[in-house]
Amino acid sequence: MKEKKIALVAGGAGFIGSHLCARLLEQGWDVLCLDNMLTARPGNLRALTNHPGFSFVRADITDPLPDEVVEQADRIERIYNLACAASPPHYQSDPEHTMLTNVVGTDRLLRLAEQSGARFLLTSTSEVYGDPEQHPQREDYRGWVNCTGPRACYDEGKRAAEAMAFDFGRLQRAEVRVARIFNTYGPHMDPRDGRVVSNLICQALEGQEITIYGDGSQTRSFCYVSDLVDGLIRLMEAKDVSLTPVNLGNPEEYTITQLLEQVRALVPTTAEVVYHPLPVDDPRRRRPDIGRARALLGWAPRVPLAAGLAETVRWFAEEMQRMQLLELPVQETRLSA
Ligand code: UDP
């Protein structure tokens, strides 16, 4: 029998990566998951490890790729690069490593794509638009990024990774895809990674003070993870989108205060809201224009924020009980909205 082709997922044990691995296995791919486990969590792979098509290699893509990967190059047909810390506190805690992950790591995976003939997808970010002067953000907007600020290791690292991916594409060294991912949420987020959705939900569940940075009027647009994964796979499999970045995100925009209201509707809490200074270079507004994704991929998000948050709250409540962070039984929190 002919061996199945492999989809390699770098960063496959992370929040989005683990959902992508699961979906690719469902679609019949053999999945080779690479992760350095710095910001990923082993529990994210719990449901996958016994799947016969799944294999895991612990590796950091800033290092030469391990033999187990290189030896399978001729079976690798798709390479998804999701490997990078994505939460500001995490990616800023070792900024040099963040930059190298995007530049050196992406180069290693692009070279693997060149060697194997695999199609390559880079997960870039809405952060390439910086603190945007255009709203909503379209792919042809070139952004307003502070290249000397604390977010630069991530923003500029992703911009460099995009440049390299497009060069490989232009020179026909590899067939490339670039997704610009906007804020995404859902099960498998790290309760402790400091992002706004995980912080607000966990603080509400634990009855701890709610942290709002700035006055809460800044906006984000939140995409549920299943929608995002659908977009990533459609982009990878679409024809003729090689030299075009594509925004993937939910165009419904909320202030952080509105997000908090939605969380409170699901997890009633009397905890105090404490206002902290806005982090340096924190974008004021963010909303994707997804016209290109609609036109090229026939894609648009389907899960409304209230439904996605309800699923996410349910998962966090269970996860925090598993981690013994929460004494309340899950059923005592209101999860049915
Ligand atoms: N934020 C907040 N409270 C928190 C964590 C974040 O008000 O506990 C704010 C943060 O300053 C930003 C927005 O929420 O304006 C989204 O932050 P996140 O770290 O989730 O993502 P990013 O800034 O990368 O979009």
Going by CA atoms, what residue is nearest to atom 12 of ligand 1?
A: 282
| For the CA of 286, the nearest atom of ligand 1 | 25
CA distance 8 to 162: 19
Which are the catalytic amino acids?
154
Proportion of the chain above pLDDT 70, given as a percent: 96
Distance 183 CA to ligand 1 centre (A): 10
Greater confidence, 286 or 322? 286
For residue 261, give the amino acid letter. Answer: E
Going by CA atoms, what residue is nearest to atom 17 of ligand 1?
A: 196
Pocket, ligand 1, Cβ cutoff 6 A: 87-88, 183, 195-196, 199, 211-213, 218, 220, 256, 278-279, 282
Distance 196 CA to ligand 1 centre (A): 5
The string of pLDDT tens digits covering residues 2-57 is 678 999 999 999 999 999 999 999 999 999 999 999 999 999 999 999 999 999 99
Q: What is the pLDDT of residue 328?
A: 52
Q: What is the pLDDT of residue 3?
A: 79
The string of pLDDT tens digits covering residues 241-283 is 879 999 999 999 999 999 999 999 999 888 999 999 999 999 9
Arithmetic mean of pLDDT over the chain: 94
Going by CA atoms, what residue is nearest to atom 21 of ligand 1?
A: 195
Confidence of residue 330 (pLDDT cuts 50, 70, 90): very low
**Integer-rounded Cα radius of gyration of the chain:** 19
Distance 218 CA to ligand 1 centre (A): 9
Q: Which of 256, 258, 275, 278 best tests ligand 1's pocket when mutated (most atoms within 8 Å of CB)?
A: 256
Asked whether the predicted pLDDT for residue 143 surpasses 90, the reply is yes
Mean pLDDT of 100-115: 98
Structure token digits, residue 297: 């991929």
Q: Which of 195, 198, 257 best tests ligand 1's pocket when mutated (most atoms within 8 Å of CB)?
A: 195
Going by CA atoms, what residue is nearest to atom 23 of ligand 1?
A: 282
Torsion sign, CA atoms 58, 187, 95, 89: negative
The string of pLDDT tens digits covering residues 190-219 is 998 899 999 999 999 999 999 999 999 999
Q: What is the DSSP string of 237-275?
A: H-SS-TT-EEEES---EEEHHHHHHHHHHHS---PPEEE
The string of pLDDT tens digits covering residues 152-179 is 999 999 999 999 999 999 999 999 999 9
The domain made up of 6-181+224-249 has a fold known as: Rossmann fold (3.40.50)
Q: What is the pLDDT of residue 327?
A: 57
Proportion of the chain above pLDDT 90, given as a percent: 91
CA distance 227 to 304: 10
The string of pLDDT tens digits covering residues 113-127 is 999 999 999 999 999
Confidence of residue 329 (pLDDT cuts 50, 70, 90): very low
Q: Is residue 74 classed as helix, strand or coil in its secondary structure? A: helix
